[in-house]
A and B are shown apart, each in its own frame.
Chain A
Amino acid sequence: MSPLTGTTRAEPGTGDPPVPLLRDGGGLAGLAWLTWRQHRWALVTSLVVSAALAAWMLWLAADMTGVFHQCHDTICPEGSPQQARLSAPFGPVNLGDKLLLGEEYVPLLIGVFLGVPLLAREFEQRTLLLAWSQDVSPMRWMWTRLLLLGLVVAALTAGVSAAAGHLARVLHDVGDGSMFQGQLFLDSGMLPLAAGLSWFVVGAALGAAVRRVLPAALAVVAGFVAALVAVDWRYPWLVAPVSRFLPFAAPGSGTPLGANPLVIQGGIQIGPPDHVVNVFDAAHRPVTFPELNRWCPNVFQLGGEDSVACFTRNGLTHHVVYQPGSRIPEFHLLLASGYTALGLLALAAVWLVVRRTALSAG
C-alpha cells in the first residue's frame, strides 16, 4: 500500500484546532513495527543463539585448520600429539561433530519458536479479531509478517549454514569422513538454510491449522523427527546408485571409489560354519566358506589388515553400491527442492486457513 498524505480534521463540536488524522497506517513500516513488537524476544534470542553457534563453529574450524597445517595439510598420523589433541573427548573434532549434530535440529527450533506462534498465538489469545478488524486486510497482515520473519530466518540460517558448511569441510580435512555422509552432508551446501525456511513456514501452517501453540509445537516436533528419519533413510537412493565389483584395497592404497563417496551397500560378513556374504572371486562368483578358508587359513585369527592383504593376494572382490562424490551438489539440490516444496505446501495451507477463517465477536 502506498502511504497516503496527511490530512487534518476539525474536532467536531469543540471548536478546537484541527486534529491531525494520521493516514500512514497499514504500510510496511507499521507492520514491521508490529512484527518486531510481537516477536522481539524470539528474534533477539534467535540472533544471539545463531551468532554464538556460528562463532563457535568458526572458532573450532580455525583451531582444527591450525592443527591441520601443523600436519602439513594431511591427516595427522595416529599417535601424534596433534591427532591426540584433535580427537580428545572435548577436542575440536568431537565438539564440531556435536555442533553439527545440533545444527540439524536448528530448523526444528525455528519452526517451534518462530513459526508456530505466528498464527497459533493469535488464535489462542483471540487477538485475530483485533488484528483483522483494522484497515489492514488479513491476507496483507499475514503475508507481510511471514515475509518479514522469513527474511530474518533466511539471514540467520544463511549465516549459521555457511559456518556449518565450513566446519564440515574442515572436519572432512582433518578426519577421514566422506562429505557425502551423515552430518557432513546434511549440514553443508546451504541445506540448513532451506530446511530452516521450510520448517518456519511449516510451523506457521501447523499453528494456523491447530490454533493452539503447544499442540502445534508438538506436531512440528513429530513432523520434524519423521522427516529427519525419512531423509536419513532415503536420501542415498534419491538417484539410482552406481554398483561395481571392487578388489579389496590394501591399507593406505586409497579408495577406488574416488573422493567423498556415499557407500550404500558394500560390507562383507564372514562366519562359521558357512557364512560368507559379499565376497567374490576374480570372476565375480560368490566365494564359499571352505574356499575362503583354503585361501586364507584361519581367517578369523588374522587381523583386519592381514585378512585384507590375504584377500588382495588372492584376487578377491566385493560388490559395492554407492553414490560418487561428484553427485553431492545434485543431492543437495534435490533435498533443497524437497524442503522448498514442503515450504510451498505449507504456504498454501496458511493461505487457505486465513482465507477460510471466519471470526465472530462472541
Chain B
Amino acid sequence: MNQDPEPDVCLDLGPGNGPIAVEVRELTKRYGRVWALRDCGFRLPAHRIIALVGANGAGKSTLMSVVSGLLPATAGSVLVDGRPVTSRRRARADGAAGDGGSRVAILGQDKPLYRDFSAADMLRFGRWTNRVWDQRRALAWLARFEVPLDRPCARLSGGQRTQVALAVALGTRPTLLLLDEPLADLDPVARTEVAGELLAEAADGGMTVVLSTHVVAELAGISDHLLLLAGGRPVLAGGTEELLARHVRLSGPRAERPPLAGTVVRARHTDRQSTFTVRLPGATPADTAGRADAAGGARVTAPGWSARPVPLDDLVISYLRASGTAPLGLEAAA
C-alpha cells in the first residue's frame, strides 16, 4: 500500500491509439525565480473537452499561454497536432497558421474586447486579422445567445461579452481552443448552455477544447477529460469517468490501512473512524470500468467498512492536498 503518491512526470490522456491534440514534454516556465511550470509533461487527446483544473497560481494560464505560442517556454517543447509551437508568432508570420497548419485560438481570463467596438465590429476584426474565418459560425453563436450585434462591447453584460469573445474565437475555426476561466461571467443556465454548445462545436468541428477553471463544480457535464495541475506540474490526468471509477472512498473503523488494495490518495482519521480515498490498481479503462462497481461497495468485505464513489470535487481536493498544494482559491462549488 502506497501513501502520498508522487506526481507523475508524464501523464498520458491519450485514448490508446487515438489522435493527440497536444503533447507537452518537460515543459518549464520560470518568471525570474518563480517556477510557474516545472518539468511538465502530458498528452491530451484530440476532439475532446478537457478541463484544466488547479488552484490559483497552479500554472493554468501560463500553460495555456505557452501552448498557444504567446509565451515562450523556458525549456521543453509543445506539439499541437504534431507540430512544434515554440514560436507560434513566427509560425503565423511565415504563414504556417494558414490552411493545413494547426490553428490555436486562446481566450484570456478577462475576455479582452475592444470596448468601443460593437459585436459586429468584433466579427469584422476577426475576419480582417485571420486567414481563415467562418462568419456564419460566429454569427450563429451570437444569435444563439441573443447578443445584439450593434451595441458597443462596453455596454454589453459580462456574459454577453464572453459570448462575443467566444464567437471571435470560434470564427477562426481553431483545431485547438484554449479557454481560460471561460464560464466565470455566466449564470448557471448560460453556463450549461454554453457548455452544451461547446461540446456540440467540438463534436461537429473536429475541435479540441481545453478549458481551465478553479471551480470544480463547473466541470459537471462539461468536460470528458481532466488535467489537474498543482505547483506547476500535472498530478492527475485522464477521462473523467475513468478517474472517478478508479477511485473509491472507504469508511470504517479506525485503521492504519484501508481494506482494499490500491494507492491511498488521502487518509483522514477520527478517534473511532477512518476514511480513505484510494486509487484502485488497474491501468486500462476496462479495468477501471469493472472497479466502478466496486466503488459501490460490493467488493468490500471487511466488517464495518463501506465503499462509496468519490465526487469529482473531493477527488480534485484530495490530490491537491496529497501533492502538498494548499487548495486555496479552489472552489468546490460554484
Contact = CB atoms under 8 A, between A and B. Distances in A.
B65 A359 contact: yes
B26 interface: no
B251 to A, nearest CB: 38
Contact of A22 (B64, B93, B133): B133
A207 B300 CA distance: 66
Contacts of A135: 92, 97-98, 129-132, 172
A11 to B, nearest CB: 8
Contacts of B173: 21
A361 B110 CA distance: 8
B205 A12 contact: yes
Contacts of A139: 89, 93
Nearest to B93: A137
Contacts of A9: 134
A132 B130 contact: no
Interface in A1-41: 1, 4, 7, 9, 11-14, 19-23, 25-27, 29-31, 33-34, 37-38
Interface in A85-132: 125-132
B104 to A, nearest CB: 8
A140 interface: yes
A361 B52 CA distance: 14
Contact of B131 (A4, A38, A125, A359): A4
Given A34-B125, A126-B108, A127-B113, A358 B70 contact: yes
A133 interface: yes
A22 B135 contact: yes
A21 B70 contact: no
Given A33-B128, A37-B117, A126-B108, A132 B204 contact: no
Contacts of A134: 126, 129-130, 172
B61 A361 contact: yes
B89 A21 contact: no
A25 B128 contact: yes
Contact of B203 (A13, A29, A34, A141): A13
A137 B134 contact: no
A139 B292 CA distance: 53
A362 interface: yes
A360 B112 contact: no
A137 to B, nearest CB: 4
A25 B95 CA distance: 12
A136 interface: yes
B112 A129 contact: yes
Interface in B287-325: none
B72 A361 contact: no
B227 to A, nearest CB: 16
Given A135-B97, A137-B89, A137-B92, A360 B124 contact: no
A131 B130 CA distance: 10
Nearest to B125: A34
A138 interface: yes
A128 B61 CA distance: 16
B106 interface: yes
Contact of B109 (A12, A20, A136, A361): A361
A130 B204 CA distance: 25
A4 to B, nearest CB: 6
B206 interface: yes
A125 B115 contact: yes
A38 B106 CA distance: 22
A23 B168 CA distance: 15
B147 interface: no
A27 B115 CA distance: 23
Interface string B73-114: 000000000000000011011010111000001111110111
Nearest to A141: B129
Contacts of A130: 108, 112-114, 165, 168
Given A129-B106, A135-B97, A360 B89 contact: no
B106 A126 contact: no
A19 B137 contact: yes
A201 to B, nearest CB: 22
A140 B166 CA distance: 24
B233 interface: no
A14 B107 CA distance: 26
Given A134-B172, A362-B108, A12 B204 contact: yes
Give 5 closest A-B pairs by Cβ, nearest first. A362-B61, A30-B128, A137-B93, A134-B129, A361-B180
Given A1-B95, A25-B126, A33-B124, 11 more contacts: A4-B98, A21-B133, A37-B124, A131-B129, A134-B172, A135-B129, A139-B93, A359-B71, A360-B61, A362-B62, A362-B64
24 contacts: A12-B205, A19-B134, A22-B133, A23-B99, A23-B133, A25-B131, A26-B129, A29-B128, A31-B128, A126-B108, A126-B110, A129-B112, A132-B70, A133-B105, A135-B97, A135-B98, A135-B172, A136-B130, A358-B70, A358-B72, A359-B71, A360-B61, A360-B65, A361-B108
